[in-house]
């Protein structure tokens, strides 16, 4: 039988008939008084909805994650949206909560992140571009702190202690310019800004120093937005941001510069989640977009909390964690759920035959280049060798006491024998089952069997537990993650990391959860080690503190916080149809 021809994502999205967002809101019990409208199809939802619904029991909480992906991704967002539509298709009340994508990757290699095919968030152009301005707010708040730091350095260089105190109300901070960890940010992929010199020109143009730019979604302010529970919590977290030290090594915060209040004012509207809809008119919260390496890679706590109340005890909230389960899901459990107090009911683990063949030793997968025939022709031996990756991810989920359902994101070249091999391995590893997902081509209908399995898994009693307690030493927490999740033989702490452990313990930061910063392309620190590597040790070269966000992030290699553009960026296809006013070329 010939494969169904599916139009491009943007063609499907622009052909869809959207409901006014007030109708979507009404379907889940929200009134216009609960909304700040951004046109006809977008709205911010007020946080005081939680006060009105505080006595309503929560719905079921489902996290969608994936096996270790190829550089192409394995359809995690498509599955997240498709599963939500499928739950609606089988008659369940459902809400989706996902991150807002950065425009850097949208115009770079990856493209948009609204799902794909017949499982998308719409309007997809708005979703992938400015939406309601939250990323802009994060960038301005972040850069206000950066400007405050350099302005303070300049003024302290020419003013006496008495003048500083009388004119600014802030005593001399004596900022060590070599300690500053706070780059500027912009939501564009631009490798030329990774390392720059600022303060050139006259003495009135600031003091020269080396710094750089990160992409906006890598900002600690974005992680704070995702983890804050309300405005008071947001204000406190922004005030706790440590940007560097004084010349005696004492930490300096945004509160020391008296800039945290203004940052909160810039962020107050951004703390409200944005309401959109899927192609099948199920409601979606799009909120926050922290990186999944140096940050925790999950959408916001406030969006999840509101959604869980809106669907009520018979409903389902489907959220998504960034990268593979060793990254986003582990942080979803150990960081996000720890701060939110929410208890997950089920994990959906997305797998593809393509990725498992790669883990079995298949040829290198390169974005923009055709797939090797090994990935498009039946090869059971190659697939069988890669199943260890799937097995380890399933075992890891079960360590948290949460049932796991495997979603096999089927591609047209996958054979029935390959699908059956994956299904059998998943069940043997302890999954509740493994189900083919055809949501890209069929929408919710193509995920009905998966949705029924998720409903059944959510009926099981929850035995959720964290992987580690907070009151053990920093080293011990890192070693537990390395041993239990990555299966490393041990951890090697380089001298810089040893010094930070000593410092952070002295400063009282040792009670924070751990946010491991490593490659998403392997269980290990080395992206070339595929499958389920064994017999290696995990190197920790340094440890950083996101004190406002509330976690420490050990660095297991070089982490890029500012992407670069490829030779042929996605933006070359993007344009405006001047006759219709519609966007062309987004994907």
Question: Rounded to the nearest 5 degrees, what angle is found at the Cα of 178, between the Cα atoms of 174 and 182?
Answer: 90
CB distance 254 to 225 below 8 Å? no
Mean pLDDT, rounded, for 485-506: 97
Enter the pTM of the model: 0.96
Predicted local confidence at residue 153, as pLDDT: 98
Reported as a pLDDT band with limits 50, 70 and 90, residue 73 is confident
DSSP 8-state class, residue 336: I
pLDDT at residue 294 is higher than 60: yes
For residue 568, give the nearest of 108, 106, 9 by alpha carbon. 108
pLDDT at residue 108 is higher than 80: yes
Percentage of the residues of the chain whose pLDDT score is greater than 90: 92
Domains with residue ranges and CATH for the chain? 50-133+270-458 (3.40.50.300), 134-267 (3.30.1510.10), 474-555 (3.10.410.10)
Average pLDDT, the chain: 96
Helix (H, G, I), strand (E, B) or coil at 210: strand
Select the more confidently predicted residue: 585 or 478: 478
With a CB cutoff of 8 Å and minimum separation 6, the contacts of 297 are 99, 290, 291, 321, 322, 323, 327, 328, 331
Q: Which two tokens stand for residue 335?
A: 């960081």
Q: How does pLDDT run across 199-244, given as a tens digit for each residue? A: 999 999 999 999 999 999 999 999 999 999 999 999 999 999 999 9
> In the chain, what is the straight-line distance between the N-terminal and C-terminal CA atoms, in Å?
27
Mean pLDDT, rounded, for 311-336: 97
DSSP 8-state class, residue 177: G
Predicted local confidence at residue 293, as pLDDT: 83
Q: How does pLDDT run across 367-412, given as a tens digit for each residue? A: 778 899 999 999 999 999 999 999 999 999 999 999 999 999 999 8
- CA distances from residue 28 to 44, 116, 160, 444, 495 in whole angstroms, order as listed: 14, 25, 60, 19, 54
User: Bridge-partner residues for 543, per DSSP?
Assistant: 554
With a CB cutoff of 8 Å and minimum separation 6, the contacts of 549 are 220, 223, 224, 227, 237, 295, 296
Q: Which two tokens stand for residue 171?
A: 């005593």
Beta strands in 147-261 (DSSP E): 184-186, 196-198, 209-211, 213-215, 242-245, 251-253
Q: How does pLDDT run across 145-155, given as a tens digit for each residue? A: 999 999 999 99
Predicted local confidence at residue 1, as pLDDT: 42
Q: How does pLDDT run across 514-562, given as a tens digit for each residue? A: 999 999 999 999 999 999 999 999 999 999 999 999 999 999 988 889 9
pLDDT at residue 111 is higher than 50: yes
Reported as a pLDDT band with limits 50, 70 and 90, residue 3 is low
pLDDT at residue 110 is higher than 80: no
CB distance 83 to 304 below 8 Å? no
């Amino acid at each position: 039988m010939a494969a169904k021809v599916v139009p491009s994502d943007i063609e499907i999205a622009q052909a869809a008939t959207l409901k006014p967002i007030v109708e979507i809101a009404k379907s889940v019990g929200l009134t216009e008084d609960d909304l700040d409208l951004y046109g006809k199809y977008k709205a911010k939802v007020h946080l005081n909805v939680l006060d009105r619904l505080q006595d309503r029991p929560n719905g079921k909480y489902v996290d969608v994650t994936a096996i270790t992906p190829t550089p192409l991704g394995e359809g995690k967002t498509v599955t997240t949206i498709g599963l939500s539509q499928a739950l609606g298709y089988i008659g369940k009340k459902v809400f989706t909560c996902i991150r807002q994508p950065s425009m850097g990757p949208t115009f770079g290699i990856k493209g948009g992140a609204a799902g794909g095919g017949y499982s998308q968030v719409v309007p997809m152009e708005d979703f992938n571009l400015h939406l309601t301005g939250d990323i802009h707010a994060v960038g301005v708040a972040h850069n206000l702190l950066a400007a405050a730091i350099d302005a303070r350095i300049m003024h302290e260089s020419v003013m006496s202690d008495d003048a500083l105190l009388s004119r600014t109300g802030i005593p001399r901070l004596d900022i060590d310019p070599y300690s500053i960890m706070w780059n500027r940010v912009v939501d564009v992929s631009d490798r030329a800004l990774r390392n720059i010199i600022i303060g050139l020109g006259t003495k009135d143009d600031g003091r020269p120093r080396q710094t750089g730019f990160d992409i906006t979604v890598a900002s600690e302010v974005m992680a704070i937005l995702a983890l804050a529970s309300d405005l008071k919590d947001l204000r406190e977290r922004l005030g706790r941001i440590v940007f560097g030290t004084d010349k005696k090594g004492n930490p300096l915060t945004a509160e020391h510069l008296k800039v945290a209040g203004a940052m909160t004012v810039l962020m107050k509207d951004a703390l409200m989640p944005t309401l959109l809809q899927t192609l099948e008119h199920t409601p979606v919260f799009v909120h926050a977009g922290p990186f999944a390496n140096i940050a925790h890679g999950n959408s916001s706590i406030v969006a999840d909390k509101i959604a869980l109340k809106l669907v009520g005890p018979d409903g389902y909230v489907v959220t998504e964690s960034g990268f593979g389960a060793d990254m986003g899901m582990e942080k979803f459990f150990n960081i996000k759920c720890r701060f939110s107090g929410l208890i997950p009911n089920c994990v959906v683990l997305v797998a593809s035959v393509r990725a498992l063949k790669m883990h079995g030793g298949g040829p290198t997968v390169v974005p923009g280049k055709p797939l090797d025939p090994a990935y498009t022709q039946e090869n059971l031996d190659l697939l069988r060798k890669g199943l260890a990756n799937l097995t380890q991810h399933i075992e890891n989920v079960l360590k948290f006491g949460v049932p796991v359902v495997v979603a096999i994101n089927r591609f047209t070249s996958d054979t029935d024998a390959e699908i059956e091999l994956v299904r059998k391995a998943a069940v043997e590893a302890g999954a509740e089952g493994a189900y083919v997902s055809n949501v890209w081509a069929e929408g919710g209908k193509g995920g009905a069997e998966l949705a029924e399995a998720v409903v059944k898994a959510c009926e099981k009693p929850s035995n959720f537990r964290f992987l580690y307690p907070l009151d053990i030493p920093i080293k011990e927490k890192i070693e537990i993650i390395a041993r239990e999740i990555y299966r490393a033989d041990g951890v090697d702490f380089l001298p810089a990391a040893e010094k930070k452990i000593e410092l952070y313990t002295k400063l009282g930061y040792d009670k924070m959860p751990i946010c491991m910063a490593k490659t998403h392309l392997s269980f290990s620190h080395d992206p070339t080690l595929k499958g389920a590597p064994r017999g290696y040790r995990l190197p920790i070269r340094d440890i950083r503190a996101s004190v406002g966000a509330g976690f420490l992030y050990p660095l297991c290699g070089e982490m890029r916080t500012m992407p670069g553009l490829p030779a042929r960026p996605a933006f070359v296809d993007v344009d405006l149809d001047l006759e219709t006013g519609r966007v062309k070329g987004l994907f």
